Structure 1
């Protein structure tokens, strides 16, 4: 379908008249009528009822009109945005946060660096899979993501910081007396985890890690998110193995112990599409990834 067909169709639908639409478009009426007939033939449906004093939309035409108007508006917005970017006028940067990164102190401190920049930040909190999809579709400019993550492998990425795993242990548990533990001490314990669909790469890494250490995971102790695992540990339902940034400020219902021989580390990164034309994206990436002295 040629793009101009949509413009012609909308003009006729709005004026309800071929001649007036042709005048509005700056073309002759006969070619306009022919183009509309070609569009109807391509769609295999009548879009207009031809009347003696004009036209009316058919039911199919009304449905197509709503979509056509939205498509034309999206194209105009895209054109305006590209022109703004070319002139250096586009200052909005859309940042998405993985659910497990949005409240990390180190992430928030790095976001604070952007307050002095004349950049309009628009933020959202989304699951990892949705973050990746919105980066790909240009609905987001930047994402703060947690690795490992299969969906992030096609993006440009910069490391913000490593986030080692720790054990969140209920205070009435036998292991609560230790500030440091080893993987073997987690054998025969109720280990809280999340379903694979929540984070496939992280789940696979942890599953392999536990299997190598002889730790059996019980699927009945699955939580939907990393944060929920902590709440379950606080309720005494088991031991949660989570990144340290999520366990920095917990109450005395649990003890946070480091795991000396754990071979998996989570990493927090800033990710973006290499094809993104917004010049402020790299400025934000640079500010976020700058290490403190």
Structure 2
């Protein structure tokens, strides 16, 4: 099967009309009709239903169209990569990380798979607090970014979910809760609670504080960790206890223990985000790949998560 047959076929399918397709392809209509007939003879089934005012794909034609679009896109991508190599060019993609996402095994696994799928792209990592990271996305100073929701500014960017990240309680290894399977929020009133600064994630910070207040806890005198993921280190040092997303508890020292919280109302969500108006080809390619990989990762348990 000649590739030009596929290009002709896809164009006719998208125009739903032989004359308009011929004009778009820059060829006469009779030769185009003859090429489509040859293609139908080659595959052995009708691909189009001829109508009074155009054509429509048959069920078999729809199957071929779906695959033909992918084949032609892969071919165009391969040709583009060859040309880039010949010119000594490589694409760059600025990949942002909210500070609390850089230690997530699921995030790191997705980044590895993106790099494997796009060896022609130089990924440039950037780590920023969530408000600053969203602003860099809006300004397109970052192309893609891993955010942690809730985040007030996230409504200004598009995103696709990566995974849900429930909060867990981290306590010193000698703490009375250390040997328990779970606790309730109301049981936490006797220990200092370590929080992260509001300016690194206002939406998440406020949601956590609201959850604690709803359980009758007043975290106004809480210790502050420099970052969300450094709260566990402060627990190990004896500053108090901390509520952190589960993905931040996978590689902790023996000096702390992780306990479930039965009535924790807050669940964080890690997403891959981008500016809606960013139409750069390299960005769209990586979004497509990321979505495919997210579906695969959802069915493959990640070690430590």
Q: TM-score higher than 0.5 here?
A: yes
Of residues 242, 245, 262, the one that matches 2:244 is 242
What is aligned with 2:105? 105
> Counterpart of 1:184?
186
Deviation by residue 1:63-93 (Cα, 9 ceiling, x = unmatched) = xxxxxxxxxxxxxxxxxxxxx9xx9987321
CA distance in 1, matches of 2:91, 2:173: 49
Q: 1:220 to 1:243 in 2, by over 3 A?
A: closer
Cα distance per residue 1:126-161 (max 9 Å; x no partner)? 111221121111111111111111122110010000
Aligned positions, number: 208
Structure 1 runs (4+) greater than 4 angstroms displaced: 87-90
- The CA distance in 2 between the partners of 1:250 and 1:220, in whole Å, is 22
Name the residue aligned to 1:291: 295
- The Cα shift of 1:203 comes to 1.1
CA distance in 2, matches of 1:109, 1:197: 28
Please report the RMSD computed on the Cα atoms of aligned residues, expressed in angstroms: 1.9
State whether structure 2 residue 284 is matched by structure 1 residue 279: no
- Kept in 1, the 8 Å contact 2:90–2:122? The answer is no
- For residues 219 and 186 of structure 1, what CA distance do their matches in structure 2 show? 14
Cα distance, 1:120 vs. partner? Answer: 2.1
**Corresponding position of 2:149:** 147
DSSP-derived class of the 2:166 partner: strand
SS in structure 2 at match of 1:153: helix
8 Å contact 1:90–1:278 — kept in the other structure?
no
Structure 2: gaps spanning 5 or more residues: 1-79, 300-305
What is the rounded CA distance, in whole Å, between the counterparts of 1:225 and 1:190 in structure 2? 17
| Distance in 1 separating the partners of 2:226 and 2:194 | 10
**Distance of aligned partners of 1:220 and 1:168 in 2 relative to their CA distance in 1, 3 Å threshold:** closer
- Deviation of residue 98 (structure 1)? 0.8
| Superposed displacement of residue 251, structure 1 | 1.2
Per the TM alignment, residue 212 of structure 1 is displaced from its structure 2 partner at its CA by 0.6
Q: Structure 1 residues 268, 116: closer, same or farther in 2, change over 3 A? A: same
What residue is the counterpart of 2:254 in the other structure? 252
Which of 183, 201, 204 does residue 202 from structure 1 map onto?
A: 204
Residue 220 of structure 1 deviates from its aligned partner by: 4.6
Q: Which runs of 5+ in 1 are unaligned?
A: 1-83
What SS does structure 2 have at the residue aligned with 1:236? coil
When normalised by structure 2's length, the TM-score is 0.64
User: Paired residue for 2:91?
Assistant: 91
Deviations 1:155-189 (A, max 9, x none): 00100000110001001211112122221211232
Q: Which moved more, 1:177-186 or 1:156-165?
A: 177-186
- Name the structure 2 match of 1:130: 132
Is the contact between residue 160 and residue 288 of structure 1 (CA under 8 Å) also seen in structure 2?
no
